[in-house]
């Protein structure tokens, strides 16, 4: 072995390249640009500059959701890393982890507590911002000691890939050039997910298989953490081999092929289409992959699946009816289960076509004319989609409306209904565009965002144009924060936003002009006829240039699912209040 060394900066980026990552997101800062120089020393890595760090974090999250491997976000000390925190927290909540690299003052400056810019008072401990991010990361490396740096970097990268949660690497400016042993890079990092005890794993696999064999009416409920933890293809395969009635959730929509006869709908407790909840809840074996049991992903906690009918295959818990296996990861288990079912279908009476109980999604509104309504728009947008499209639906009415749509095969869906930070999809869309490019993904990228949310993160549209991306953007223009009106204060001024923005000029401002040669098209639609004209226009759907289509709707028009969930939440609050009164009395 040679005594070759590489500078730390390059070491980090070579490890990152090893994961198949080709683009690095971020915003530079003087702490420190020399680290960024190392990106250009690793062939195949490119820099994508974002307008701000919050959008950068959203983009990292979106990239991870599509690509599966972590994204990399680079920010600068204090001002940059703190701006990113909301986005990193969302990635933590919804398991769309990233490697967040933060440039810091040189170690000598830190030790002397120098009152540099971006500190907040004299004699400040420079590490205070590191503590702030503690609850929103799986692990971190604070690179202060030369002799442990390489180990630390490797450890947190592995932790990120395995946990699918954000990790941080804090890089003081003077360590970028520290020389590390280059020989380490000859051994790739081992990021495989394994269960510690293979005997117990054997036991789980055979028990799952016998439960499937014995159940009279088994179903599959595929939730979002199965996708996030690398189980998307296996989940699709499980449904395909078995033909068991299969369901998605608001967060996992698209995971099951919605055109397949075994797709039974989107399960969201009592806020599901008629017949869907019954079909799940009467099943004697619900194989529930990667559940995320937040309010809006369970119809306001109205999911009703009894433990005695439940096989829960999670990333940190496997539960077979009443029996719990804490710390077990579904991925190796699901892999073995699918292999066995595929090898011996007869043994498990597969495929098992079941016709009873399937209900077609109702057509909510088949109007041919008139002003655009929530009841019409979402299912129509569903029909606009094509196989392999990537669709992002922003928090707000879009997120509660989109579950009404039926997706073509292999639609990838991004929505953040758990963390629900508005403006998220505008940043996330950039990450999805980058991931799609790296993967040579054949579909289009379609962003659906309310005008209120757009006002939060609009500048990142400029980054789409800057790097030559051509998404199709729908702006839901309904005169303010409609979802908030539905919740409280429909007429109150705080639910208004500026209506002075001219969305039709947006793409032009961001760069689509004659002088740049960048082509774009923008249109506004207020009626069924106008929207139909746009959606049926081949040029509009072709994805050959960036497109914007504004969809105007009434400010008091809400999707039924939103009203339903609010009704459920209000009833629960009322019940809780009356119980409190009884206790108090």
Ligand X SMILES: Cc1ncc(C[n+]2csc(CCOP(=O)(O)OP(=O)(O)O)c2C)c(N)n1
- 201 near ligand X, rule: CB under 6 A: no
Contacts with Mg ion in 470-499 (CB under 5 A)?
478, 482
3-state SS of 83-118 is HHHHHHHHHHHCCCCEEEEEEECCHHHHHCCCCCCC
Do residues 74 and 43 touch, judged by C-beta distance below 8 A?
A: no
524 three-class SS? strand
- 370 near ligand NAG, rule: CB under 6 A: yes
> Which one of 176, 225, 271, 398 is in contact with ligand NAG (CB under 6 A)?
176
- 452 near Mg ion, rule: CB under 5 A: yes
Per DSSP, what are the bridge partners of residue 552?
Answer: 477
Stretch near ligand X under the rule CB under 6 A, chosen from 267-275, 377-385, 426-434, 448-456: 448-456
Q: Which H or E run contains 537?
A: none
Q: Annotated binding residue at 480?
A: yes
Write out the E strands in 184-280.
Answer: 218-222, 246-248, 263-266
304 three-class SS? coil
- 453 near ligand X, rule: CB under 6 A: yes
Please state, in angstroms and as integers, the Cα–Cα distance from residue 326 to each residue in 312, 313, 460, following that order.
Answer: 11, 11, 41
Stretch near ligand NAG under the rule CB under 6 A, chosen from 123-131, 284-292, 369-377, 567-575: 369-377
Q: Smallest distance from the beta carbon of 493 to ligand NAG, in angstroms?
A: 27
Burial track 82-114 (b if 16+ CB lie within 10 A, e otherwise): bbbbbbbbbbbbbbbbbbbbbbbbbbebbeeee
Stretch near ligand NAG under the rule CB under 6 A, chosen from 29-37, 45-53, 54-62, 211-219: 29-37
Q: Smallest distance from the beta carbon of 392 to ligand X, in angstroms?
A: 13
> Which one of 333, 483, 506, 551 is in contact with ligand X (CB under 6 A)?
483
- CB nearer to ligand X: pick between 484 and 530: 484
> Which one of 18, 145, 190, 371 is in contact with ligand NAG (CB under 6 A)?
371
Q: Which does 375 bind (CB under 5 to 8 A by kind): ligand X, ligand NAG, Mg ion, none?
A: ligand NAG
Q: Smallest distance from the beta carbon of 396 to ligand X, in angstroms?
A: 3
Do residues 73 and 166 touch, judged by C-beta distance below 8 A?
A: no
- CB nearer to ligand X: pick between 263 and 481: 481
Please state, in angstroms and as integers, the Cα–Cα distance from residue 266 to each residue in 242, 250, 293, 357, following that order.
Answer: 19, 7, 14, 14
Question: What is the rounded distance in angstroms from the CA atom of residue 60 to the CA atom of residue 75?
Answer: 12
Contact pattern for ligand X over residues 397 through 426, marking x by CB under 6 A:
xx---------------------xxx----
Q: Smallest distance from the beta carbon of 452 to Mg ion, in angstroms?
A: 4
- CB nearer to ligand X: pick between 90 and 172: 90
Q: Which does 453 bind (CB under 5 to 8 A by kind): ligand X, ligand NAG, Mg ion, none?
A: ligand X
Q: Smallest distance from the beta carbon of 362 to ligand NAG, in angstroms?
A: 12
Question: What is the rounded distance in angstroms from the CA atom of residue 11 to the CA atom of residue 201?
Answer: 36
Q: Smallest distance from the beta carbon of 176 to ligand NAG, in angstroms?
A: 6
Phi, psi values for residue 50, rounded to 5°:
-100, 165
Q: Is 274 exposed, middle or buried (0-12, 13-18, 19+ CB in 10 A)?
A: exposed
Using CB positions, name the residue nearest to ligand X: 450
Contact pattern for Mg ion over residues 391 through 430, marking x by CB under 5 A:
----------------------------------------
> Which one of 457, 478, 522, 547 is in contact with ligand X (CB under 6 A)?
478
Please state, in angstroms and as integers, the Cα–Cα distance from residue 213 to each residue in 58, 285, 307, following that order.
Answer: 43, 10, 18
- CB nearer to ligand X: pick between 283 and 478: 478
Do residues 96 and 64 touch, judged by C-beta distance below 8 A?
A: yes
Contacts with ligand X in 380-399 (CB under 6 A)?
394-398
Helix/strand/coil percent split, the chain, to 5: 45, 20, 40
Q: Which does 460 bind (CB under 5 to 8 A by kind): ligand NAG, Mg ion, ligand X, none?
A: none
Look at the block and give the residue holding tokens 């433990």: 307
Per DSSP, what are the bridge partners of residue 285?
Answer: 218
Question: What is the rounded distance in angstroms from the CA atom of residue 444 to the CA atom of residue 571?
Answer: 41
> Which one of 30, 484, 496, 521 is in contact with ligand NAG (CB under 6 A)?
30
Phi, psi values for residue 177, rounded to 5°:
-100, 0
Contacts with ligand NAG in 338-367 (CB under 6 A)?
365, 367
Q: Which does 484 bind (CB under 5 to 8 A by kind): Mg ion, ligand NAG, ligand X, none?
A: ligand X
Residue positions forming the annotated binding site: 478, 480
- Numbered residues of the known binding site for Mg(2+): 478, 480
- Give the binding site for ligand NAG (CB under 6 A): 30-32, 34, 105-106, 173-174, 176-177, 365, 367, 370-373, 375-376, 528
């Amino acid at each position: 072995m040679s005594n070759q060394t590489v500078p730390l900066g390059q070491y980090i980026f070579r490890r990152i390249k090893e994961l198949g990552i080709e683009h690095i997101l971020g915003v530079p800062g003087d702490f420190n640009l020399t680290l960024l120089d190392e990106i250009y020393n690793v062939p195949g890595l490119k820099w994508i500059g974002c307008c701000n760090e919050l959008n950068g974090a959203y983009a990292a999250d979106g990239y991870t959701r599509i690509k599966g491997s972590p994204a990399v976000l680079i920010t600068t000390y204090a001002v940059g890393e703190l701006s990113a925190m909301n986005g990193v927290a969302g990635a933590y909540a919804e398991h769309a982890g990233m490697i967040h690299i933060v440039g810091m003052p040189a170690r000598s400056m830190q030790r002397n507590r120098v009152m540099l810019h971006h500190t907040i008072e004299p004699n400040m401990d420079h590490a205070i911002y590191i503590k702030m991010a503690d609850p929103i990361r799986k692990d971190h490396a604070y690179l202060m000691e030369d002799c442990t740096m390489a180990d630390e970097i490797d450890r947190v990268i592995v932790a990120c890939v395995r946990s699918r949660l954000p990790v941080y690497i804090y890089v003081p400016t003077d360590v970028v050039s520290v020389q590390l042993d280059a020989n380490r890079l000859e051994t790739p990092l081992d990021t495989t997910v394994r269960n510690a005890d293979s005997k117990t794993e054997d036991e789980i696999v055979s028990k799952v298989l016998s439960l499937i064999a014995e159940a009279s009416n088994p179903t599959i409920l595929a939730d979002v953490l199965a996708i996030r933890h690398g189980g998307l293809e296996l989940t699709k395969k499980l449904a395909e081999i078995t033909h068991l009635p299969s369901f998605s959730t608001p967060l996992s929509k698209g995971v099951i092929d919605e055109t397949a006869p075994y797709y039974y709908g989107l399960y969201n407790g009592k806020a599901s289409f008629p017949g869907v909840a019954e079909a799940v809840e009467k099943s004697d074996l619900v194989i529930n992959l990667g559940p995320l049991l937040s309010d809006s992903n369970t119809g306001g906690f109205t999911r009703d699946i009894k433990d005695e009918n439940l096989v829960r295959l999670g990333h940190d818990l496997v539960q077979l009816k009443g029996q719990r296996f804490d710390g077990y990861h579904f991925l190796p288990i699901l892999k073995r289960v699918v292999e066995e079912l595929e090898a011996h279908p007869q043994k498990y009476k597969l495929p098992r076509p079941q016709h009873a109980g399937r209900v077609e999604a109702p057509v909510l509104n088949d109007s041919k004319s008139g002003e655009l309504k929530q009841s019409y728009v979402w299912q129509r947008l569903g029909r606009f989609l094509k196989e392999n499209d990537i669709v992002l639906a922003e928090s707000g009415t879009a997120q509660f409306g989109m579950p009404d749509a039926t997706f073509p095969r292999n639609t990838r869906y991004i929505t953040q209904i758990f963390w629900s930070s508005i403006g998220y999809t505008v940043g996330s869309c950039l990450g999805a565009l980058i991931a799609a490019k790296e993967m040579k993904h054949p579909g289009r990228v379609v962003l659906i965002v309310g005008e209120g949310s757009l006002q939060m993160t609009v500048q990142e549209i400029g980054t789409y144009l800057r790097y030559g991306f051509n998404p199709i953007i729908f702006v839901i223009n309904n005169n303010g924060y409609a979802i908030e009106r539905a919740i409280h204060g429909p007429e109150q001024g705080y639910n208004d936003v500026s209506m002075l923005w001219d969305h039709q000029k947006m793409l032009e401002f961001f760069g689509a002009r004659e002088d740049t040669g960048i082509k774009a098209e923008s249109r506004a639609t207020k009626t069924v006829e106008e929207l139909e004209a746009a959606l049926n226009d081949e040029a509009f759907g072709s994805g050959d240039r960036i497109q914007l289509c504004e969809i105007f709707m009434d400010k008091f028009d809400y999707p039924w699912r939103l009203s339903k969930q609010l009704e459920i939440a209000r009833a629960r609050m009322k019940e809780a209040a009356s119980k409190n009164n009884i206790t108090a009395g």
